Chains A and B, each alone.
Chain A
Amino acid sequence: MTGTAIRLRQCAKTFQGGQTALSPIDLDVRPGETLVFLGPSGCGKTTTLRLIAGLETPDAGGRILFGDDDVTDVPIEKRGVGMVFQSYALFSNLDVAGNVAYGLKVRGMPKAERATRVAEMLELMHLQDFADRSIHALSGGQRQRVALARALAARPRILLLDEPLAALDAQLREQLRVDIDRLLRTLHITAIYVTHDQAEAMALGDRIVVMENGRIAQIGTPQDIYQRPANAFVAGFIGNLNRFDVLAHEQGRARVAGGWLPWNDTSATVLCCRPEHLEIVHANGALQGQVLGQFFQGAHTRVLVDIGNGRQLLVDSRDDRLRQRGDLIEMNVTGPLFALAA
């Protein structure tokens, strides 16, 4: 399969009753890319997916293009999209093979060819032993693999996944995420993946679209978004973040609660850094604070530090020293600091 580009032009969505789900957005999805829509519930990510699917129509003026075809007025059944839903949406009146064959049957594929394709899809999803099973006899993870096989069987131009892992427990989720990743890499199909889980987004996305209140807050690679968040919302939504209010600027330094940070630009009012970019040092640290608690998390230990002014820091420490509540510690910034608009 070669990927199809998707272009959204001035696509907005207002629901009955005047509620704006999506402000006009422009978006280019590259052929073969996995694009993840990430955001809290109600941010417009599912609406955007449904616009691309053809389950919703954009407000007047919005256009949706698959490659060079304008599909704005094409109903979903003629768009050639594969969809995977959070609730699996399998047809319980059909067995596993029947579900996978459904789209092929609808398109009038001859029986022999259909059987070959179904077998091929089941094998791809490691489901070859389940062909005759009833849907009710499957676990959640197996159901979602059937749903993936069904969505991909008719070789869609675009694969749309709407929170496909949200209904699964943690271990299965991880497993299936790896399966989906492998699938998307091998098939080179253009895929849109909607999730509210930032870890999922970072692991799967070639690029991530962070959405907030019906708008695109930032588009970028996972690295871009993690290391250079465009605003406070993106920074807060992805990973943990320490925020420092700048109290004063002085000789290339910014005074903050608990000490100083190296910063030249005197216009900054809020500085941020990630917990793993703070290091606990024995002496001459830029920041001082008092330990509030320490939580062992396996690869690192998360230390909660009070730096005064009601501000608390999260520090991910790699050493395994035991600290007590009330211990005074000093810290240095070892990774990127960035300024955010307050």
Chain B
Amino acid sequence: MKRTGLFTLQLAFTLLVCAFMLVPIVLSVMAGLTRNYFQGIESGLTFDWVIQVWTAYAPTVWLSLQLALACALCCVVIGVPAAYALVRLDNRLSRAVEELLVLPVAMPGFATALALLLTYGHYSGFRSSAGFILVGHVLFTLPFLVRPVMAVMQRSHLPVLEEAAASLGAGPARRFFGIVVPNARAGILAGTLMVITLSLGEFNLTWMLHTPLTKTLPVGLADSYASARLEVGSAYTLIFLMLIVPLLVALQVVSNRLSRGALR
């Protein structure tokens, strides 16, 4: 096949854009593995920085993972019934609620965090627990679960399926858990992965809500960039990438299968 000059031009442009996006990541990763960043790669490669970060910041990694899982759990418990209710009601009120759900995403995280602090800051037990951050994360990530679940529910003829189940003797609870949830599982899975990813990387809200004892990975990252050597911050980034990239890949796989309808 003969390639035109235009094709070459487009390829060059695409590669340029890829390089623009990827080179900083590669540089950052390399910085985390270089013995001395200012002397450059000639100073040799080492895992020392990664180990140092791990010894100092391992608790932030665990806390972030726990928070992400707890956040996903909360979102599923709140979000799936909410999505169901919104799909079933489908009136002006439900559409308004759907819009309101997205508000914490549209608003600057600092503003949401400030509102939470003003309202609940004086419950010191709650304020100093990781649960406080969890509330922020759930507020922020909930629409990312509700939206895909609603989409799947809307296109899976849920009302008729429920009518069929009802005619076969199933009451409301049985219909919800036996028919609605299994038929929305693809949306729930996609939403859950999205929520975990977002919760792991969330910084704005968390920075405002955290205490020295409830530091998450991104907050620790900012900390280390601000106070420690550049190599330490970069090694930290490497750890974060190792957590988040497999999740993003999983998300892509799920959404691919979703669009092919394999999970329906």
Given A85-B160, A89-B161, A91-B161: A77 in contact with B182 (beta carbons within 8 A):
no
**CA–CA, A150 and B164, complex, Å:** 10
Q: Tell me which residues across on chain A come within 8 A of B161, comparing CB atoms.
A: 89, 91
Within 8 A of B (CB), among A218-238: none
**CB–CB A87/B160 < 8 A:** yes
Q: Tell me which residues across on chain B come within 8 A of A106, comparing CB atoms.
A: 165, 168-170, 174
Contact partner of A85 (CB less than 8 A), chosen from B164, B178, B179, is: B164
Within 8 A of B (CB), among A65-95: 75-83, 85, 87, 89-93
B206 to chain A, nearest CB (A): 37
Number of A residues near B (Cβ < 8 Å) is 28
Number of B residues near A (Cβ < 8 Å) is 20
Given A85-B160, A106-B174: A91 in contact with B169 (beta carbons within 8 A):
no
Within 8 A of A (CB), among B155-182: 156-157, 160-161, 163-171, 174, 178-179, 182
**CB–CB A89/B168 < 8 A:** no
Within 8 A of A (CB), among B126-178: 156-157, 160-161, 163-171, 174, 178
Q: Does B210 contact A (CB under 8 A)?
A: no
Within 8 A of B (CB), among A41-85: 53, 55, 75-83, 85
A158 to chain B, nearest CB (A): 10
Within 8 A of B (CB), among A135-161: 136, 147, 150-151, 154, 160
B189 to chain A, nearest CB (A): 13
**CA–CA, A253 and B183, complex, Å:** 68
**CB–CB B185/A93 < 8 A:** yes
| CB closest chain-A residue, reference B179 | A91
Contact partner of B167 (CB less than 8 A), chosen from A53, A92, A93, is: A53
A58 to chain B, nearest CB (A): 17
**CB–CB A82/B174 < 8 A:** no
Q: Does A103 contact B (CB under 8 A)?
A: yes
Q: Tell me which residues across on chain B come within 8 A of A85, comparing CB atoms.
A: 160, 163-164
**CB–CB A76/B167 < 8 A:** yes
**CA–CA, A91 and B178, complex, Å:** 10
**CB–CB A81/B160 < 8 A:** no
Q: Tell me which residues across on chain A come within 8 A of B168, comparing CB atoms.
A: 77, 82, 102-103, 106, 150-151, 154
Q: Does A107 contact B (CB under 8 A)?
A: yes
Q: Tell me which residues across on chain B come within 8 A of A78, comparing CB atoms.
A: 169
| CB closest chain-A residue, reference B164 | A89
**CA–CA, A87 and B179, complex, Å:** 16
A36 to chain B, nearest CB (A): 19
**CB–CB B183/A83 < 8 A:** no
**CB–CB A83/B167 < 8 A:** yes
**CB–CB B160/A89 < 8 A:** yes
**CA–CA, A29 and B164, complex, Å:** 23
Which residues of B approach A to under 8 Å, CB–CB? Answer: 156-157, 160-161, 163-171, 174, 178-179, 182-183, 185, 264
The 7 A-B pairs with the shortest beta carbon distances in the complex, nearest first, are: A103-B168, A93-B182, A89-B164, A83-B167, A89-B160, A106-B169, A76-B166
Which residues of A approach B to under 8 Å, CB–CB? Answer: 53, 55, 75-83, 85, 87, 89-93, 102-103, 106-107, 136, 147, 150-151, 154, 160
Beyond A76-B167, A85-B160, A102-B165, list 15 extra A-B contacts (CB 8 Å): A76-B166, A77-B169, A82-B168, A83-B167, A89-B157, A89-B161, A89-B163, A90-B164, A91-B161, A91-B165, A92-B183, A93-B185, A106-B174, A150-B164, A151-B167
Query: What are 25 residue pairs bridging A and B, where the CB atoms are less than 8 Å apart in the complex?
Result: A53-B163, A75-B166, A76-B163, A77-B166, A77-B168, A77-B169, A77-B170, A81-B167, A82-B168, A85-B160, A87-B157, A87-B160, A89-B164, A91-B165, A91-B182, A92-B156, A93-B182, A93-B183, A93-B185, A102-B170, A103-B169, A136-B264, A147-B164, A150-B164, A160-B167
